[in-house]
Every structure is written in C-alpha cells, then in structure tokens.
C-alpha cells in the first residue's frame, strides 16, 4: 500500500469525466488499497474518488464511520434518489472551503466490488451525501459547483 498525492481544486483533471473500469486488474486492486490508505491518512476523510488521486476511472471508496466500514465502489450508478437534505460539505481536493449542498435524502446505488460482483446499497444521511459527492467527482463536478445560494465558506487556513 502507498499514499497517493491528492489533486487540488485548480487541476483540470478534476473536471474530466472518468472512464469505466472494464477489467479489475491488480492495478485497480492496488488503486483501491492506496485510496483507502490515503483517505484514512488525510484528516479522516470519509470518501475519496479516483480522479482525486489523478486516476480517471470510475472508482471511489467511502467510510463514514458507520457499521458498513470501508465501502468500495467500481463503476457505480445511482439508480434511485428520493427527497432532499442539506449538508455542509468539504472536500480533500478543496481544502479550507465548505459549502451547504442540497442532495437526495436517500439513494440506491449499484456498483461492483473488487471481486467484480455486482451489489446494491440503499443509503440515507451522511452516507447518501458522500455517495453523491463521490459520484459527482467521477463526472468532473465539485461540491462548490452546487453550493446553496453560491455561498462558499472559508475555514481556517490549513497548514
């Protein structure tokens, strides 16, 4: 396992659309392992999408600290979305900024795990927020694009 560098806001990579994973190779497995390590290392992030480490593939990892533990998503698709919730979001690629974003209250997501098996997961609360935030990364969208009233909050300068 290894830490990967996190790509920051101004990098055009974050604005690209990621491509599906067609074969789960050892390279993809290492990517998943490295992403989890990087997510846990970096200020207890609760999610990380592959484009954030410079890899334009449809992969993300999430651990919101609930009973699910570490969740890995390959070629995810949000297949149902219901209701609305507002949450103050942040992003490891956008340090020092937060914004309120309106997301679905509940989502159903379909994806593959690292063994290539398809699974479905229903989520609400923070897990639903995080799934939508990570899924946006795969489409070149940042949470700041969706800030309620376009309002960005500046946190304390980091480091």
Residues that bind Ni ion (CB under 5 A): 91
**SS percent in the chain: helix, strand, coil, step 5:** 30, 30, 40
Question: Choosing among ligand GNR, Ni ion, none, which partner's interface includes residue 89 (Cβ < 5 to 8 Å by kind)?
Answer: ligand GNR
Tell me the H-state helices in 68-138: 125-138
Touching ligand GNR, residues 44-103 (CB under 6 A): 45-49, 52, 87, 89-93
In angstroms, rounded to a whole number, what is the distance separating the alpha carbons of residues 95 and 75?
A: 27
Shortest gap between Cβ of 112 and ligand GNR (angstroms)?
19
In angstroms, rounded to a whole number, what is the distance separating the alpha carbons of residues 20 and 31?
A: 14
Shortest gap between Cβ of 127 and Ni ion (angstroms)?
15
Which residues are part of the catalytic machinery? 134
Q: Do 1 and 34 form a contact (C-beta atoms < 8 A)? A: yes
Question: Which helix (H) or strand (E) is 99 found in, with range?
Answer: strand 97-103
In angstroms, rounded to a whole number, what is the distance separating the alpha carbons of residues 100 and 60?
A: 22
Which residue from 4, 57, 58, 133 is in contact with ligand GNR, where contact means CB under 6 A?
Answer: 133
Query: Judged by CB, which is closer to ligand GNR: 8, or 24?
Result: 8
Shortest gap between Cβ of 45 and ligand GNR (angstroms)?
4
Does residue 134 belong to the site contacting ligand GNR (CB under 6 A)?
Answer: yes
> What residues are paired with 86 via a beta bridge?
102
Shortest gap between Cβ of 73 and ligand GNR (angstroms)?
12
Residues lying near ligand GNR in the complex (CB under 6 A): 45-49, 52, 87, 89-93, 129-130, 133-134, 137
């Amino acid at each position: 396992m290894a830490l990967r560098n996190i790509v920051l806001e101004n990098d055009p990579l974050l604005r690209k659309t990621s491509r599906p994973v067609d074969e789960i190779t050892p390279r993809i497995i290492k990517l998943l392992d490295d992403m989890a390590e990087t997510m846990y290392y970096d200020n207890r992030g609760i999610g990380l999408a592959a484009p954030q480490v410079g890899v334009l593939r449809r992969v993300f990892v999430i651990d919101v600290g609930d009973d699910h533990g570490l969740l890995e998503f390959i070629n995810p698709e949000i297949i149902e979305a219901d209701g609305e919730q507002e949450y103050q979001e942040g992003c490891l690629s956008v340090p020092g900024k937060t914004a309120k974003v309106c997301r679905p209250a509940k989502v159903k997501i379909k994806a593959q795990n690292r063994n290539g098996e398809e699974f479905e997961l229903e989520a609400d609360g923070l897990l639903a927020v995080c799934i939508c935030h990570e899924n946006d990364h795969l489409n070149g969208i940042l949470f700041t694009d969706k800030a309620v009233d376009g309002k960005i909050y500046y946190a304390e300068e980091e480091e």
